[in-house]
Chain A
Amino acid sequence: MQFFFEVLIGGLLSGVLYALVALGFVLIYKASGVFNFAQGAMVFFAALTFVGFLEILPGWTGWEEGGRAVFWLAFVLSLAAMVVLAIATEKFVLRPLVNQPPITLFMATIGLTFLVEGIAQGIWGANVRGLNLGIADVPIEYMMDNFNILISSFDVFAAAVAAVLVAALALFFQYTRIGRALRAVADDHQAALSIGIPLRHIWVIVWAVAGFVALVAGMIWGARNGVQFALTFTALKALPVLILGGFTSVPGAIVGGLIIGASEKLAEVYVGPFVGGGIESWFPYILALGFLLFRPEGLFGEKHIDRV
């Protein structure tokens, strides 16, 4: 039983990390109806930029390497880079493609993926880098001593960051002027435009926010596994979360992440050995598929009514 809980809790915590990546997808889909395949590349780009600045800033500024000042400056600069990316994307990709079918926009984001990957590696090189956020990835002793359950302190930290992020985003959507405008755009582009909401600004903002989420996800995943090209694969972990939770729901991403994370770990541990293991590559997709058969718009997605 102890083992079961250990796997369950570990899975839930991993799930939160998946949700962190899925959030970026949700934001953009909600506001602009674009399935942004480049989200994974953005995570990679953000993390690589952050680490890159961490490396060169001490040389530029003469500040202490690994110090707080360097950390925050690098963070701000990376965020600025993500905003620039958002503006460029809106100007050169989204604006010219207004009113195209969703699949065209989807393809454009795949093109964007190559572009972003090329730019990221072109600027910072292909080297694999480590990233230390100063939070040790070790078991929490209290849980080990009292329950013999292994829980990583880093995972708990990551989960807390994700929770704060989701709460902040929910508040932002609910109570700020921009948030209301975002929701209006998500509801109906035409109607939003006609009451005077500037669509372009909204898109830049939402891509920038998605960039911010990508930066946070990139830092956490980068600290976990290293900053390298494989960060783009985190998108593949986020996709089942996305369809399970629904493309348009922020809380859906979290709940979806928890379900996917926990069930994929339990399946790998309890079912995997009977079929040769390695089922984590497809299990989340099949699981999400199963859910979809009952709720075709995901758990929290908006119900779609067809009218002839």
Chain B
Amino acid sequence: MNLKKTVILGAAVAGLLGSSMAIAAEQFIGLPSYRVGPYAAGGSGIFGGWIDYMQMINERDGGINGVKLAWEECETEYNNARGVECYERLKEKGETGNSVFQPLSTGITYSVLDKVAKDKIPLVTMGYGRTDAADGRVFPYVFPLITTYWSQATTMIKYIAGKEGGTDKLKGKKIALLYHDSAYGKESHAVLEKMAERYGYELTKLAVAHPGNEQQSQWLQIRQLRPDWVILWGWGVMNPTALKSAAKTGFSREKMVGVWWSGAEEDTVPAGSAAKGFTAAGYNVAGENYPVIKDIEKFVYAKGHGNMEDKGRIGSVYYNRGVVHGLITVEAIRKAQEKFGKGKALTGEQVRWGFENLDMDDKRLGELGATGFLPPLKTSCLDHEGSGKVKYQQWDGNKWNVVTDWIDADKELVRGMIEESAAAYAKEKGITPRDCSKEM
């Protein structure tokens, strides 16, 4: 090889290196958002909070170990087919492809469930989606993080028992479950029935047809039944309607417990004064007085970036839920970088490892400025849920106030059901579950 060639080659190599140095690595996150249609209020809040958090990480820390976060939105309109299109469109974007897919819709979750394992992209569903995916042996790429509907149902009974003065007091109590008549609403049935057998309360299930803007008959039945508690398993317009109808029939809102999709400002504000006293679960809390929110205001909004049009919604339940999505996603990428190389853009497969090895204890949450903002979280190959804890918040007419500490799910009951259901799925689909003792 003569000198000339070597020089040229050397220059080329140097040029390549130089250019790759100049362009910092970017971690791409595809956002299948929905900002129009019936659920736009939730979508714009959650995706707004999430984007703001990532923006804040870029502004404050210069990304994760120097890897800037990049994202792109894709409008799904909460529609399954559009969601699949978004999934496929976002899949290959960015340097290393999409790192994680979080559709905020159970329907879309199901629609891409089979695809993620093949494409090696983690599917993260916080507080929705397929409950039995918490069994990481059968669903290596699916993460129903923090908590699931089944865990939530057990905490509701715990909360009610706490109010009644112990689980033994539940015997003979009447609990009415007012649920959205859909796959989502039915998720709670099995768990609540099992717990009814154990604790001896009497469960009455009342279905509300979609969309639930008319509940006269259900509430007259409730008036007839005179239950001690009403569990509201609602969605969208069904929630304010239920609160209004409860006021109309004179049922105390203090005795109503809602799921986390019933417990946002969007559910109580339309009901006006009728919502006062209503309690709902939340895997994140409302409020602005957390360092992480303050940082977003300081590094994002003060500089005039910010995704929210209505700044008044910062600190609302949905917005904060979006921040939780951002927090956990960033933490998973950070964790994965520790294993696969700091300062590098990671593939979906590597990020998946991060999600499976999350360890956000109180100390870590404190460092992130989110103590009490979300429950401590620790995932593993076996357990893709990681926490199961929720707090209960009560609406005082103006805002949500936290009224309990983190309440643990009845792990033993839920875990058994999850494993049973996941095993059935594995059998039906011919999946051999992973051996977790071999996982690192």
CA distance A224 to B244 in the complex (A): 7
CA distance A227 to B241 in the complex (A): 11
For chain A, residues 128 to 178, give those with C-beta under 8 angstroms from any C-beta of chain B. Answer: 128-132, 137-139, 150, 152, 154
Mark B residues whose CB is within 8 Å of A: 35-41, 43-44, 181, 205-211, 213-214, 216-218, 220-221, 223-224, 236-237, 240-241, 244, 247-250, 265-267, 269-272, 274, 309-310, 313
Beta-carbon contact of B36 and A130 below 8 Å? no
Which residues does chain B contribute within 8 Å of A278, judged by CB atoms?
181, 207-209
Which residues does chain A contribute within 8 Å of B270, judged by CB atoms?
128-131, 225-228
Beta-carbon contact of B211 and A152 below 8 Å? no
Closest to A7 in B: B220
Beta-carbon contact of A237 and B214 below 8 Å? yes
* A127 interface residue (CB < 8 Å to B): yes
Which residues does chain B contribute within 8 Å of A150, judged by CB atoms?
220, 223, 248-250
Which residues does chain A contribute within 8 Å of B35, judged by CB atoms?
126
CA distance A127 to B39 in the complex (A): 10
Q: Mark A1-27, 1 if CB is under 8 A from B, else 0.
A: 001001100110010000000000000
Which residues does chain B contribute within 8 Å of A108, judged by CB atoms?
none
Q: How many residues of A contact B (CB 8 A)?
A: 46
* A234 interface residue (CB < 8 Å to B): yes
Beta-carbon contact of A130 and B272 below 8 Å? yes
Beyond contacts A139-B250, A233-B213: 4 other A-B pairs, Cβ-Cβ < 8 A, are A128-B270, A130-B270, A225-B241, A229-B37
CA distance A198 to B35 in the complex (A): 42
Beta-carbon contact of A226 and B206 below 8 Å? no
Given A11-B216, A14-B216, A132-B272 in contact, is the A127-B207 Cβ separation under 8 Å?
A: no
Stretch in contact with the other chain, from A28-36, A64-72, A92-100, A268-276: A268-276
For the complex of A and B, 6 pairs with smallest distance between CB atoms? A226-B270, A230-B237, A278-B181, A278-B207, A277-B207, A126-B40
Beta-carbon contact of B205 and A277 below 8 Å? yes
How many Å from the CB of A217 to the closest CB on chain B? 12
* A280 interface residue (CB < 8 Å to B): yes
Beta-carbon contact of A126 and B207 below 8 Å? no
Tally the A-B contacts, defined by beta carbons under 8 Å.
129
Which residues does chain B contribute within 8 Å of A226, judged by CB atoms?
237, 240, 269-271
Closest to B316 in A: A127
CA distance A288 to B377 in the complex (A): 53
Given A127-B41, A230-B213 in contact, is the A225-B181 Cβ separation under 8 Å?
A: no
Which residues does chain A contribute within 8 Å of B237, judged by CB atoms?
225-226, 228, 230, 233
Closest to A14 in B: B216
A-B pairs with beta carbons under 8 Å apart, 16 shown: A6-B223, A10-B216, A126-B41, A127-B313, A128-B269, A130-B240, A138-B248, A224-B244, A228-B236, A233-B38, A237-B213, A268-B218, A269-B221, A278-B181, A278-B207, A278-B209
Beta-carbon contact of B244 and A3 below 8 Å? no
Beta-carbon contact of A280 and B214 below 8 Å? yes
Which residues does chain B contribute within 8 Å of A111, judged by CB atoms?
none
How many Å from the CB of A81 to the closest CB on chain B? 20
Which of the listed residues A14, A118, A137, A279 has the most CB atoms from chain B within 10 Å of its own CB? A137
Beta-carbon contact of B309 and A265 below 8 Å? no
* A117 interface residue (CB < 8 Å to B): yes
CA distance A299 to B297 in the complex (A): 60
Closest to A283 in B: B209
Which residues does chain A contribute within 8 Å of B44, judged by CB atoms?
126
Closest to B39 in A: A229
* A89 interface residue (CB < 8 Å to B): no
Q: Mark A260-292, 1 if CB is under 8 A from B, else 0.
A: 000011001100100011111100000000000
Q: Mark A225-269, 1 if CB is under 8 A from B, else 0.
A: 111111011100100000000000000000000000000110011
CA distance A162 to B209 in the complex (A): 25
Closest to A3 in B: B224
CA distance A230 to B208 in the complex (A): 15
CA distance A224 to B43 in the complex (A): 23
Which residues does chain B contribute within 8 Å of A280, judged by CB atoms?
209, 214, 217
Which residues does chain B contribute within 8 Å of A277, judged by CB atoms?
181, 205-207
Which residues does chain A contribute within 8 Å of B241, judged by CB atoms?
224-225
For chain A, residues 76 to 133, give those with C-beta under 8 angstroms from any C-beta of chain B. Answer: 117-118, 121, 125-132
Beta-carbon contact of B210 and A14 below 8 Å? no
Closest to A6 in B: B220
Which residues does chain A contribute within 8 Å of B217, judged by CB atoms?
7, 10-11, 264-265, 268-269, 272, 280
Beta-carbon contact of B244 and A225 below 8 Å? yes
Closest to A282 in B: B209
How many Å from the CB of B225 to the closest CB on chain A? 11
For chain A, residues 55 to 75, give those with C-beta under 8 angstroms from any C-beta of chain B. Answer: none
How many Å from the CB of B287 to the closest CB on chain A? 19
How many Å from the CB of A17 to the closest CB on chain B? 8
Which residues does chain B contribute within 8 Å of A276, judged by CB atoms?
207
Which residues does chain A contribute within 8 Å of B38, judged by CB atoms?
228-230, 232-233
Which residues does chain B contribute within 8 Å of A237, judged by CB atoms?
213-214
CA distance A268 to B310 in the complex (A): 40
Which residues does chain A contribute within 8 Å of B181, judged by CB atoms?
277-278, 281
